[in-house]
Amino acid sequence: MKPAVTEQEETPSLAAYQSIVAYDGTKFEGFQRQASGRRTVQGELEQALQTIGWQESSLRAAGRTDSGVHARGQVIAYQLAWKHPPEGLSMAINANLPHDIAVRKTSLAQKDFHPRYSAVSRCYRYSLFIDKTRDPLRERYAWRTGAEADIKLLNRAADMIVGKKDFGAFGSAPRPEGSTVREIFEAVWDLQDDELWFEIEGNAFLYHMVRRLVFALLAVGNGKMELDDFLAAVQNPNKNWDGGLAPSQGLCLLSVKYD
């Protein structure tokens, strides 16, 4: 005779989880849920979680990507009463998500884990290609530029932003009166055939910081801006650099690192 199953055994207890999420940002108004009801990555994720019993008011994320920006390594955290292995949780969430978002991996997390405040660095990649003729398929995930760029000049300029600096000229803090000081660990350009990539890793980034830096660096690389002028902008955080903003579709959050 089998022992009776108690209610306590039937009901799993709340546990903390973290998931790595990838998404195509083309048809989203950014990651963060909006009061206007526009389509966002957070809104879709929370709706999918609700279908499997999630009851928190908001999930937590490593970053709030802009409208049109993609991700391969966004990290979210939440609490859920789930009685199956974490692998099954990824599958359950994905079954309720649209085709342009996917949970790539899920694992148990510490209860005090916060994907934003616990992060030690974030890595972004910006993709470009050199072509004078439109290419609709490639332009979905990269910025097409008609002018060739000097890869050595690009990397000389990129070296100037490595270190702990005030990047107030290239972006604004997430909160009013917040610090605009950020530390960049690595900034590197790579060129293969007609494709350009810029990868940058830092402890955190300002609003629009990466896209403004890409625009300025590319101006140096194709001779539209002097190296000394770029350095002056880096060294003068109180003067906003209004040279331009690289399009959102070329930017992708690659990964978030933790201790």
Helix 151-159 / helix 209-221 crossing angle, nearest 10 deg: 130
* Strand runs labelled E in the chain: 14-23, 60-61, 70-81, 101-108, 119-130, 143-145, 163-166, 181-192, 195-202, 251-258
Q: Model confidence over 12-23: pLDDT tens digits?
A: 799 999 999 999
User: DSSP letters along 194-247, please?
Assistant: TEEEEEEEES---BTHHHHHHHHHHHHHTTSS-HHHHHHHHH-TTS---S----
- What pLDDT band is residue 175 in, cutting at 50, 70 and 90? confident
| 135 CB-side CA count, 13 A | 17
Q: Are 170 and 182 in contact (CB under 8 A)?
A: no
Confidence (pTM): 0.92
Q: Is the pLDDT of residue 1 over 60?
A: no
Buried b (16+ CB within 10 A) or exposed e, 58-68: ebbbbbbbbeb
- What pLDDT band is residue 7 in, cutting at 50, 70 and 90? very low
Q: Is the pLDDT of residue 88 over 80?
A: yes
Question: What residues have CB less than 8 Å from 232, skipping those under 6 apart?
Answer: none
- What pLDDT band is residue 158 in, cutting at 50, 70 and 90? very high
Q: Are 68 and 25 in contact (CB under 8 A)?
A: yes
Cα-based distances in Å from 99 to 5, 26, 94: 39, 12, 9
Q: Model confidence over 97-138: pLDDT tens digits?
A: 999 999 999 999 999 999 999 999 999 999 999 999 999 999
The torsion of the CA quartet 126, 247, 44, 89, rounded to 10 degrees, works out to -10
Active site residues: 66
Q: What is the largest CA-CA distance in the chain?
A: 84
DSSP 8-state symbol, 172: B
| 7 CB-side CA count, 13 A | 0
Q: What domains can be seen in the chain, in order of their start residue?
A: 9-108 (3.30.70.580), 120-258 (3.30.70.660)
> Residue type for 134, please?
R
Q: Is the pLDDT of residue 239 over 90?
A: no
Burial of 8 (0-12, 13-18, 19+ CB in 10 A): exposed
Determine the Cα–Cα distance for residues 256 and 119; give it in Å rounded to an integer. Answer: 7
- What pLDDT band is residue 10 in, cutting at 50, 70 and 90? low
- What pLDDT band is residue 153 in, cutting at 50, 70 and 90? very high
